[in-house]
Chains A and B, each alone.
Chain A
């Protein structure tokens, strides 16, 4: 029997505030389409069940068309069982008013469902999972048992307490299918079972970079499981760091950007972070970089985290220079953060030089 484990689809996420409205819609659509494509994949690959381990939706208010698409995908595949638990984002969300036979939601109490020699149990996300749940978890030792949960394992986070793996010890669990952490991760419960986060289907922020996002296909035969990861993301968050300490001019910056982004394309959401130190006069014109590269990627963001070094000793000697007086005043202002000092100095110097302010 083949089963898909997926989680954290975050359909209808509103996170992409920096994108243009069109690209926000496009990214959102893709995250929805991923689910549809995954169900088609399941159909083609004779998958018996799909485990959706929470956060299928980004919040309980979703677009009508998104809900309809999800419903249609489930209803049009009656031969595939869909097991769904709520995550912290879609807690209590009802996909169907009347649940179809191939759709099972595990609520706030432990429940299980048997399919031949495989038993799937689960409980939806709760900030603190009641201890009674751990007492109630019980599986037949002769079956292959899967438990679905949503939450962190090592330590709690701002959303919830961690899943208490020790309390799941010796409960005949073969596989704890987890959602919540967007990166793949895994570990052991006891001598019999293991836990695994399959990660999100597609990243929705620069916190999760690269292409390593998708779902697991569990293949259970004769009580033994083999597992395969299927990368499924369509858009990839990429971040490159460029140290401009020794870069002389903008064309050098372009050359480094070219080199570092050579593998990126229109499906990449790119962040270029400039770091290092630069001297006064060594400018990075972010607007020029955006203008040059914006159309080469799905989205481009430039972060200037460089530190501009000012020759304060020289300025200290200049008593009659407005520029020196300005820099000294900025540096002496204790109410300003370091970042503000940098920005003010750059803006002020640009203005004094009569250049366009690049802020």
Chain B
């Protein structure tokens, strides 16, 4: 392929500019800022179009970079070239997006539109993609390093492989990936995780329901026990049974009350009888029965009588002495002695009965009575005493009867309490409470039974759901295992296919290495060996040092040689024009001379377009 000429309508800084290219080597030696790189990019854009506008803020694509500064709707141009299929003019106008781009191809001889190539001109013409083109024929001084991509690897391998295998590799991988994607999508569509979650949730719900049912059962058991207890208690303590006790108790109470009334009446009668009697029964008994007081009074009276006798006797003695009548004297002395003795005895006796006499005196004093009136009072007392005694006996009898009835009543009440668990007076209150409790328990049991029925129904439903989920989950899991097996097979297929491709691709190392050395040895006849791996990475010297450590000139040299080697091997359909954007800037004079010679040799096979800003490098 040879570039013939180009016309730039508008591209970067160029506007309405024409270039004509020499068939073998075109040197464009212009000052910095002329637009050499822009022209080089224009040529590439004519073959490979321009990538879309970058969406990244910090990156500008070629479409952004080369859009004319004063864009007036024109952005593009045309390129005339010759190739094995003839001479053509490609014209492109670039829009804001690739879809708005316009592509035209004309036969350069007839000026008629041609369909020999589509807008995918670069790939169709050279058989390599844009990236490969950039990494091989497009020599930028600032960007000489180039790696290897799948396209380049495939293209290189084409040289050593037979048939369409390598072309098919990518398609085969695409098919395998597509199949894997489908299987993964199908596996995802199974929603196994979702089903597992549903299953776990259903199981958890089942557990909760079981606990709820167990709790309801427990409550139901307790409620039923309470109901049974209450029923039993009600059965034993029926009102009929209770009434027997209650009636007996009430009857006894009535009898006791009646007896109490009678006692009160008797007491009243007794009080009425004894109202006019001053003496109490005790006083009366004292007065009636006590001899000492009487004896004391007698002794006191006798004592005074004896004292009088003694005094009279003494007078008699005096008289007898005066009269000297011994008989009188003797008689008086006897009387006196007797009087004194009597006095002493009376005094002793009265003293010994002093308490009784005092009590007697107190009674008299209390009732303002005299010895005479007291007798009347005693007679009065004696008169009502028999009636009072009768009444008291009656009262005592009644009280005895009351006590007896009380005892009986107590027994009944105790028995009642033992049987019915409450006091008689509380019985009806408690019966009412029990009835209310029973009704409440019955209501609670009904509620619990309803709850149980509800929970059981829910449990059955959730168990059915668990059954369905488990069934569905087993099926899905089996499907998932199958999918996984298939994926495994496809992954292994893809991997082995790639290994096979690599294993074959590695065979291009040798031709690349040969080509590289062919160029490299022209510059460095006795230079150190350069090793090229299957990724086309270069290593230098015996220690396989990274080329990064080489001098700038040598560094550029090895990459230029690699690119020449790649150009030799990659382009089977059409030999491309090699566009050199001042790649020898770092070369010393010796290497520059060699480079110039090499280009002269190469321009026999390739059209060379060399851009430079120094005449020495032109």
Q: B-contacting residues of A (Cβ < 8 Å)?
A: 12, 14, 16-19, 21, 24, 61-65, 318, 320-323, 325-326, 328-330, 333, 336, 340, 343-344, 347-348, 350-357, 359
Contact = CB atoms under 8 A, between A and B. Distances in A.
A61 B499 contact: no
B489 A344 contact: yes
A333 B165 contact: no
A318 B160 CA distance: 12
A62 B489 contact: no
Contacts of A352: 165, 168-169, 172, 497
Given A17-B475, A24-B475, A347-B176, A325 B504 contact: yes
A326 B505 CA distance: 13
Contacts of A322: 161, 165-166, 168-169, 497, 500-501, 504
- Sorted nearest first, the 10 A-B pairs with minimum C-beta distance are A322-B165, A351-B172, A325-B500, A17-B475, A326-B500, A357-B179, A64-B460, A351-B175, A347-B493, A17-B478
Contacts of B24: none
Interface in B132-187: 160-163, 165-166, 168-169, 171-173, 175-176, 179
Contacts, number: 109
Contacts of B460: 64
B496 interface: yes
**Which range contains the number of B residues in contact with the other chain?**
35 or more
Nearest to B171: A354
B474 interface: yes
Given A62-B467, A354-B168, 13 more contacts: A14-B470, A17-B471, A17-B474, A18-B478, A21-B475, A65-B464, A321-B161, A321-B165, A322-B504, A328-B500, A348-B497, A352-B172, A357-B175
A19 B265 CA distance: 107
B461 interface: yes
Nearest to A17: B475
A12 B467 contact: yes
A16 to B, nearest CB: 8
Contacts of B380: none
Given A322-B165, A351-B176, A329 B466 contact: no
Contacts of B470: 14
A322 B208 CA distance: 62
Contacts of B497: 322, 326, 348, 351-352
B503 interface: yes
B466 A61 contact: yes
24 contacts: A14-B467, A17-B475, A17-B478, A24-B471, A63-B464, A318-B162, A320-B161, A321-B163, A322-B500, A322-B501, A325-B503, A329-B499, A336-B492, A340-B489, A344-B489, A344-B492, A347-B176, A347-B489, A351-B171, A351-B172, A352-B165, A352-B172, A354-B171, A357-B176
Contacts of B504: 320, 322, 325
A10 to B, nearest CB: 13
Q: By CB atoms of chain A within 10 A, which of B460, B470, B493 has the most?
A: B493
B344 interface: no
B202 to A, nearest CB: 12
Contacts of B472: 21
Nearest to A335: B492
A329 B496 contact: yes
Interface in B474-533: 474-475, 478-479, 486, 489-490, 492-493, 496-497, 499-501, 503-504, 507
B26 interface: no
A320 B162 contact: yes
A348 B163 contact: no
A320 B497 CA distance: 14
B453 to A, nearest CB: 14
Contacts of B479: 17
A63 B479 CA distance: 24
B486 A64 contact: no
Contacts of A320: 160-162, 504, 507
B463 interface: yes
Contacts of A336: 492
A58 to B, nearest CB: 10
A127 B342 CA distance: 132
B490 A347 contact: yes
Nearest to B162: A320
Q: By CB atoms of chain A within 10 A, which of B461, B467, B478 has the most?
A: B467
A12 B474 CA distance: 14
Contact of A63 (B160, B169, B467, B474): B467
Nearest to A348: B493
A19 B463 CA distance: 22
Nearest to B457: A64
A64 B464 contact: yes
A320 B501 CA distance: 10
Contacts of A321: 161-163, 165
Contacts of A16: 475
B159 to A, nearest CB: 10
B486 A359 contact: yes
B607 to A, nearest CB: 32
Contacts of B489: 340, 343-344, 347, 359
A14 B471 contact: yes
Contacts of A18: 475, 478
A14 B473 CA distance: 10
Nearest to B490: A347
A356 B503 contact: no
Given A17-B474, A347-B490, A347-B493, A64 B463 contact: yes
A31 to B, nearest CB: 13
Contacts of A356: 175, 179
A323 B493 CA distance: 12
Given A14-B470, A17-B475, A64-B460, A329 B500 contact: yes
Nearest to A347: B493
A146 B461 CA distance: 39
A93 B416 CA distance: 53
Q: By CB atoms of chain A within 10 A, which of B461, B472, B504 has the most?
A: B504
A322 B160 CA distance: 11
Contact of A351 (B163, B493, B499): B493
B475 A359 contact: no
A320 B159 CA distance: 10
A359 B179 contact: yes
Nearest to A14: B471
A205 B261 CA distance: 102
B569 to A, nearest CB: 15
Contacts of B475: 16-19, 21, 24
